[in-house]
Structure 1
Amino acid sequence: MDADSWDRRYAETELVWSAEPNRFVADELGDLPPGTAVDLAAGEGRNALWLAGLGWRVTAVDFSAVALDKGRRIARARDLDVTWVRADLADYQPAPADLVLIAYLHVPPALWQRVLRAAVGAVAPGGTLLLVGHDATNLTEGTGGPQDLERLWSVDDIVPALDGLTVERAEWVRRPVGGRDAIDTLVRARRPA
């Protein structure tokens, strides 16, 4: 889907996603000391807003103007400071940050490799990279998410691309959705200080 398609999707409802952070994002990052963070493919900003509420200086990046406008409104209502950047991740190079987050970005493989390289390169010394997305096994064993295998993630594809980072956690995790479980890839890595 392109930015116009996502704009239309975000315009159809008050919030496409929950106003709360992704459960794995909250579990993995809740105890980190605040610093600088970049949320790539932030959408309406649920994770960025949550991080800002914890004291992080967050940059939320997405190519949907509609999603970013929703995030800005929520930030104002909650008196949170988030920097909102409209950019296509195909061309965007994030500044070094203490935390780089990508949650549920499912794009063609060539674009995913560029975005992942940029994300890895943006992790500051001592910083953390957190990746959460639909796992390839979700297609046959889980529920929801993209139905294109090429856009789904796997630990085996991600971990070798984390040059210079120490992997702290790399596994698939289950997330209840209705009466079934979605299966996600979760990777957390750190750049040595």
Structure 2
Amino acid sequence: MDADSWDRRYAETELVWSADPNRFVADELTGLPPGSAVDLAAGEGRNALWLAGVGWRVTAVDFSAVALDKGRQIAVARGLDVTWVHADLADYRPPTADLVLIAYLHVPPALWQPVLGRAVAAVAPGGTLLLVGHDSTNLTEGTGGPQDLERLWSLDAVVASLGDLVVRRAERVHRPVEGARDAIDTLVRAERPAS
């Protein structure tokens, strides 16, 4: 889908996703000392807003202006400070940050590999990279998400793309979906050594 398609999708409803953070984002990052964070493919900002609420200085990036406007309105209503960046990840180079987050970005491999590479490079010394997305096994064993295998994540391929980051957690996790079988996600948390 292109930015116009996503703009239309975000315009059709109050919130496409929940206003709450993704459960794995909250579980993995609760207790991590706040610093600078960049949320790539932030959508309406559910994770960025949560991070800002617990003390992070957050930059939320997405190519949907409609989604960013929704996130901006929520931030104002909650009194949260988030920097909203309208950009296409095909070209965007994230700033160095203590936390780099990608949650549910599902694009063709020709785009995914450079985006992931730039995300890895943006992790500051001592910083964390957190990746959460629909796993390739979700297509046959789970529910929801893209139905195009090449857009789903492979745990092994993600881990192999992390360069000198130290992997702290890498696994397939189950996410309950009301009225359906669980969704299966790839969850990877990695850190860049402090020195």
Give the TM-score of the pair, scaled to structure 2. Answer: 0.98
1:42-98 alpha-carbon deviations (Å, 9 max, x no partner): 000000000000000000000000000000000000000000000000000001000
Please state if 1:186 is matched with 2:194: no
Counterpart mapping for 1:48-59 below 5 A: 48-59=48-59
SS of 2:118's equivalent?
helix
Please state if 1:33 is matched with 2:33: yes
Please state if 1:148 is matched with 2:148: yes
Unaligned runs of 5+ in 1: none
SS of 1:24's equivalent?
helix
Which amino acid is 1:81 matched to? D
Aligned to 1:136: 136
Distance 2:160 2:136 in 1: 17
Aligned to 1:20: 20
Aligned to 1:69: 69
RMSD (Å) for aligned C-alpha atoms: 0.4
Aligned to 2:60: 60
Q: Identity of counterpart residues, as a percentage?
A: 84
SS of 2:91's equivalent?
coil
Which amino acid is 2:189 matched to? R
Give the TM-score of the pair, scaled to structure 1. Answer: 0.99
Unaligned runs of 5+ in 2: none
> Comparing 144-153 with 173-182, which one deviates more in the overlay?
173-182
SS of 1:183's equivalent?
strand
1:116-172 alpha-carbon deviations (Å, 9 max, x no partner): 000000000000000000000000000000000000001111111101100000000
